[in-house]
Amino acid sequence: MNKKAFNTQCIHGDEKKYDTTGAVSMPIYQSATFAHPSVGESTGFDYSRLQNPTREHLENTIAQLEAGHKALAFSTGMAAVTTLMTLFEPGDHIIASDDLYGGSHRLFHHISMRYGIRFSFTSMADPKEVEALIEKDTKGIFIESPTNPMMQVTDLRQMALLGKSHSLLVMVDNTFLTPYYQRPLALGADVVIHSGTKYLGGHNDTLAGLLVVKDVDLHEKLSFYAKTIGACLSPFDSWLIIRGIKTLPIRMDYQQKSALFLAKWLKEQRQIKHVYYIGLEDHPGYNISISQASGFGGMISFEVTSESLARQILEKVKVIQYAESLGGVETLITYPMLQTHGDIPKPEREAKGINERLLRLSIGLESVEDLLKDLEQAMEDG
């Protein structure tokens, strides 16, 4: 049978059948435990912390979409990253993007380092700079591309080649672009991370995290750590992510179209100092983006002329909602210095450009004309 198109895979997911009723929607197997047919026998499911049919369907679906071997679903994106860090031991060294989601920064600095894992943070723009940081104890490279919130783009093929030449585990957070626009495993990465809360779920109604790998042994290790730590995704939340994935391509195409329109409009406004959107041709990572991804996504960061204007926009938006998170059908605006990156020390945060004038937009599915009018009125007289 020929491989199905991406849109078809999103809708139908994994072909394994669990139900005999003909239910079109994957059933929610809301069971903590499963009965054994007899002593020493199993249906393949014993206890939902270990595996559950609804979660397995989601895992197999996202593994197929990412062109991976297997996937694991977790209760949050940070639960996924935390489990990933259990692969490393005290003394191990990891090179990571210097513009990271605040939750990853908090985990690495306040927990992973306490257990003896060392980190070097750097821009991933130049592979030579990354290579210069490799030590005898370096075990991995942790990448966000595009980064949150400054939208830096990494050449994933170059990083994968660098990782392979030094036997390093290359881990890529693909939350912003999803497998619809970017497939890091196909570009040579070893692990893909998702906050399923965002675009995969797409409705701002659940939390989830996912790890996708292409190596059998690596999956076995992570599976053991996942069942031991126990931060598994519940059956109902698994179903919500399955539901969200069904409309992923349609949502992302619409969001991207609106994002490009608004990014171009923002660039023309006198109150805007800088617009960070990877779909703009003057973005430093534009050419890399078009070489490794099929789209630019719906995330925009922009710097306004003053802190007072930033706060005015946050207080005056009506259609756009001032809230943390991203990737849902509702357009959200975030103040990174107070929200996603509030735990990062001010000097370090401001050195990255995350200052009191920076705002981040996650474009939803509203009329782009309504979003533009909302921004216009919020910026008026500012």
Q: In CATH, what number is assigned to the domain containing residue 343? A: 3.90.1150.10
Residue 154 and residue 279 in one domain: no
Among the candidates 224, 246, 268, a domain finishes at 246
Residue 238 and residue 259 in one domain: no
Residue 104 and residue 219 in one domain: yes
Taking alpha carbons only, the member of 228, 151, 216 closest to residue 190 is 216
The amino acid that residue 357 corresponds to is R
Among 14-18, 32-36, 266-270, 341-345, which stretch is predicted with the lowest mean pLDDT?
A: 341-345
**Is 101 tagged catalytic?**
yes
2 pLDDT above the threshold of 80? no
Among residues of the chain, what percentage have pLDDT more than 70? 99
69 pLDDT above the threshold of 80? yes
Q: Residue 287: its pLDDT value, please?
A: 98
Residue 121 and residue 213 in one domain: yes
| Structure tokens belonging to residue 192 | 């893909």
Residue 239 and residue 253 in one domain: no
The catalytic residue among 70, 198, 214, 251 is 198
Q: What is the mean pLDDT of residues 343-354?
A: 84
329 pLDDT above the threshold of 80? yes
Residue 24 lies in a domain: yes
Residue 268 and residue 154 in one domain: no
Q: What is the mean pLDDT of residues 122-143?
A: 96
Residue 228 and residue 255 in one domain: no
The catalytic residue among 55, 70, 101, 190 is 101
The catalytic residue among 14, 173, 237, 374 is 173
Q: What is residue 340's three-state secondary structure? A: coil
Residue 224 and residue 341 in one domain: no
243 pLDDT above the threshold of 50? yes
Helix (H) or strand (E) holding 262: helix 248-267
Residue 157 lies in a domain: yes
Residue 191 and residue 300 in one domain: no
The amino acid that residue 137 corresponds to is D
Residue 229 and residue 264 in one domain: no
Using N-to-C axis directions, what is the helix angle for 77-85 and 216-229, rounded to 10°? 110
For residues 293 and 349, the model is more confident at 293
Residue 1 lies in a domain: no
Report strand pairing: 321-322 vs 299-304: unpaired
Q: What is the mean pLDDT of residues 317-334?
A: 97
Q: What CA–CA distance (Å, rounded) separates 30 from 22?
A: 18
Q: What is the mean pLDDT of residues 290-314?
A: 98
Q: Which domain holds residue 337?
A: 249-379
What pTM was estimated for this model as a whole? 0.96
Average pLDDT, the chain: 96
**Domain total in the chain:** 2
Q: What are phi and psi of 33, to 5 degrees?
A: -140, 165
Residue 344 lies in a domain: yes
**Is 198 tagged catalytic?**
yes
Residue 220 and residue 71 in one domain: yes
**Is 264 tagged catalytic?**
no
In tens, the pLDDT along 204-227 reads 999 999 999 999 999 999 999 999
Residue 147 lies in a domain: yes
**Is 155 tagged catalytic?**
no
Residue 267 and residue 367 in one domain: yes
DSSP type of residue 232 = B
Among the candidates 246, 263, 287, a domain finishes at 246
Q: Residue 382: its pLDDT value, please?
A: 62
Q: Residue 1: its pLDDT value, please?
A: 46
